[in-house]
Structure 1
Amino acid sequence: MSRQDDLIAEGEPEAEFHPGIAERMPRKRVAGGALIRDRDGRILFIEPTYKPFLDIPGGIAEANESPYDACRREVLEEVGLELTIGPLLVVDWDPARGVWHDAIAFVFDGGVLNGDEELVMQPGEVGAVAFLTLDEAQSRLRPSMHRRLTLAVQALASGIPQYSDFGRIV
């Protein structure tokens, strides 16, 4: 069945008991990223042009887009790879900071590249790409991202997805 078939099967959404309450509810950013590795186990990092820290390919979900679909779309847009994204590794809550609302970040298994793939960086958004170990990347990652990716690597090894708050197991 398709997502549209699933929506039809759900039936009509319930009416608001108190009109306007849905618009007053908090909204969270939701993002999906891929832990993509090379054959040596190094992680594919991108250098975004819009922030001073490394990141993994992925990004914020658009309206009515799942974190998984956002991950697939962003990986294709940012590095030109149309991958079969694997299972969930980490769900991490990211608290509000500065102008940014809190968010839920999903990290999926992006698989292992065989070395024949051509990475095509998105102009204006990705300045460079690099395969690095977590130790090599640590000084160029926010501490919370380093914790999140450490959990993702552990989940990859154990086969058990992790939930964390700001990169820390609760």
Structure 2
Amino acid sequence: MTASFFEAEGPPEAEFHPGIARRMAHKTVAAGALIRDPSDRILFVVPNYKPYLDLPGGIVEPGEPPSAACRREVLEEVGLDRPTGRLLVVDWTPGRGPWSDQVQFVFDGGILDPATVLRPAADELTGIQWLPLDAAQIRASLHRRLSLALTALTTGTPIHAEMGHRYL
């Protein structure tokens, strides 16, 4: 985003009651890319810090838009630099174990030739896998979220979900 974008918003708001903002809840925000091959297999990453496959993507940094985080994380994780496509799903998931509750954005990562050389980040991934959705070892909520993302690809309409369930 450009400086003029932020300038157009005007100066930051003053805090009427000092300390109140620090006491408010803070959620983790994550962004991932649904990247497919011509056979409709999905690109999954194999994290070294959790037992399930995941989409390429990661945590949005403070002050960073989710779409920019998605592009940055895909580049960092698999060495692929490409524009982030349209929004497919926004999904809320509750905290689990050490992870806080999250708002997760899934963007269209487009179709990629599976022969494209990808470089999994050795510090956080043990590899990548191209799999059909139903063959992937993933959490049930991620399976539901990705099913919704595939629906959004077809309909052209982003979907709001909670724990992978469509929210009306």
Same fold (TM over 0.5): yes
Q: Aligned equivalents of 1:147 and 1:45: distance in 2? A: 15
User: Is 1:150 matched up with 2:125?
Assistant: no
Residues 120-165 of structure 1: per-residue CA shift (max 9 Å, x gap): 111121111111001111xx10111111011001111111110000
- 1:36 is aligned with what amino acid? I
Q: How far has the Cα of 1:117 moved from its partner?
A: 1.9
- Counting only pairs closer than 5 Å after superposition, residues 51-130 of structure 1 correspond to structure 2 as 51-130=50-129
CA distance in 2, matches of 1:49, 1:74: 16
User: Which residue type is aligned with residue 121 of structure 1?
Assistant: P
Q: Does 1:45 align with 2:44?
A: yes
TM-score, normalisation: structure 1: 0.94
State how far apart, in whole Å, the 1-side matches of 2:76 and 2:89 are: 22
Identity %: 54
User: What CA distance in whole angstroms lies between the structure 2 residues aligned with 1:169 and 1:115?
Assistant: 30
Q: Kindly state the Cα deviation for residue 99 of structure 1 after the two structures are TM-superposed.
A: 2.7
Q: Give secondary structure in 2 for the equivalent of 1:155.
A: helix
Q: Following TM superposition, by how much is the alpha carbon of 1:116 offset from its aligned partner in structure 2, in angstroms?
A: 4.6
- Give me the whole-angstrom Cα distance separating, in 2, the residues matched to 1:105 and 1:10: 25
Q: Deviations over 1:43-96 (max 9, x none)?
A: 000110111000010000112111111110110011110012110000000112
Q: Match of 1:145, as an amino acid?
A: L
- Two-structure CA RMSD over aligned residues (Å): 1.1
Q: TM-score, normalised by structure 2?
A: 0.95
- 1:99 and 1:78 map into 2 onto residues whose CA distance is 22
> Equivalents in 2 of 1:134, 1:169: separation in Å?
18
Aligned residues: 167
CA shift at 1:101, angstroms? 1.7
Q: Which runs of 5+ in 2 are unaligned?
A: none
